[in-house]
Structure 1
Amino acid sequence: MFTGIIEAIGRIKAIQRQSSGARIEIETQSLDMSDVKLGDSIATNGICLTVVAFNDASFSADVSMETLDRTAFGNYQIGQHVNLEKAMLATARFGGHIVSGHVDGMANIVSVTERGNAWEYWLQVDKSLKAYIAEKGSVTIDGVSLTVNSIDDDKFRLTIVPHTRAETIIASYCVGHQVNLEVDVVARYVERLLQCRESQSTDSGVSESLLRKSGFI
């Protein structure tokens, strides 16, 4: 599990394409690798990757075809910068929100506007994901925990402060840029819970509308 608080900006050093996916090597730059072990998880632009080799300055990980198909990773190039975060420790401060490292889809930057000392980014998502984006709720963009400030159908607005731009790759975003998106995991569980309850209610003949009509809810 991660928090969406980026620890360092890394750089893609190598990409070895394979029929089953790819193996990538990431230069970790300022990321502290002293406590990293084989099998550890490091979120790379919001994607949970398993460390298969490492040294003081880099780590390697395998990327499946599923990841290449469902995330922006399929378009990444050598030299590209990425956000890095090691898996959260149970004793660490929880500074962002619950981030699983499982990307739900991609979003596109549709506008960037400087407002005072901050920047406003409007992003567009696939209509299948818009229901999970809530005003003042949390969303993860390339591994960064951010707050949704407003919504317009399948678009939403983020306000980025100077510190976040300086400590992540967000400063490089421009119109048309594609990012990895993970919705708040709580929304996913709530949806599944309601689906199961609806199924159970239908099977028993008791529905939410019937309970509401009868004054139980």
Structure 2
Amino acid sequence: MFTGLVADVGVVERIVPRQGGARLTLRPARLPVDELVLGESIACSGACLTVVERGGGLVSFDAVPETLARTTVGGWRPGAKVNLERALAVGERLGGHLVQGHVDAVGEVLRRVPEGQGARLTISLPPSIAPLVAEKGSIAVDGVSLTVATAGRDRFELALIPETLARTTLGQAAAGTKVNLEADVLARHVARLRAFEGLGAGDLARWGYAAEEKP
């Protein structure tokens, strides 16, 4: 589990194909590589990957075919920059929102315009995730916890502050950039409940998602 607060930006050093998947080796800028534990989870631009090797300032992960096909990881090349976040430790402050590192879809930056000292991004919204994105709700974009400024049927907008632009890969995001999207975990469960025929307000109230209607 993560918070969507990026701790570092790493650079892809090399990619080695392995039985349909790949071993990815990154060089973090500030992340203490020697403190990482084999088997621990790291959010890499929003995709939860497991540490399989580390040392010499480098950390490696194995990506299976599913990850390469359903996230932007499959398009990474040496030199690509990657947002990095270690898993949330119990007792730490939750400054963003609960992020699982399970990418729902890949979107594309459609437009970027300056807005004050920051920037406004318009990103495409694939049909599979569109019902889960709401104005003023939370979304993780390349692993960054953000608030949705506006939401339409096929796109949404983000208002990015200078800090986000300076400390994450979104500072370089331009029209055509592909990004990993993860909807708020609660939105996923509510959508799943509503998918069952006959679901009503009373059911939602019983499961703790809404106040039960009074007669």
TM-score computed with the length of structure 2 as normaliser:
0.90
Corresponding pairs, count? 206
Shift of 1:208: 3.2
Matches of residues 3-82 of structure 1 in structure 2 within 5 Å?
3-55=3-55, 57-82=57-82
Query: Structure 1 runs of 4+ off > 3 angstroms?
Result: 207-211
Q: Which has the larger radius of gyration?
A: 1
Matches of residues 89-168 of structure 1 in structure 2 within 5 Å?
89-168=89-168
Which amino acid counterpart does residue 180 of structure 2 have in structure 1? N
Shift of 1:216: 6.5
TM-score computed with the length of structure 1 as normaliser:
0.89
CA contact (8 A) 2:125 2:153 kept: no
Quick one: distance in 1 between partners of 2:201 and 2:23?
51
Aligned twin of 2:191: 191
Which amino acid counterpart does residue 208 of structure 1 have in structure 2? G
SS class of match (2:78): coil
Aligned twin of 2:84: 84
The structure-2 alpha-carbon separation of the partners of 1:181 and 1:192, relative to structure 1 and needing over 3 Å to count, comes to: same
Which amino acid counterpart does residue 20 of structure 1 have in structure 2? G
CA RMSD of aligned residues (A): 1.9
Quick one: distance in 2 between partners of 1:46 and 1:216?
42
User: What are structure 2's unaligned runs of at least 5 residues?
Assistant: 204-212
Shift of 1:177: 0.8
Task: Tell me the percent identity.
Answer: 37
Quick one: distance in 2 between partners of 1:132 and 1:104?
10
User: What are structure 1's unaligned runs of at least 5 residues?
Assistant: 202-206
User: How far does the alpha carbon of each residue in 1:31-85 deviate from its partner, in whole angstroms, 9 at most, with x for none?
Assistant: 1234311100011000000001112512111001000100111111101110000
Which amino acid counterpart does residue 117 of structure 1 have in structure 2? Q
SS class of match (1:39): coil
Shift of 1:146: 0.4
Quick one: distance in 2 between partners of 1:209 and 1:20?
46
Shift of 1:210: 10
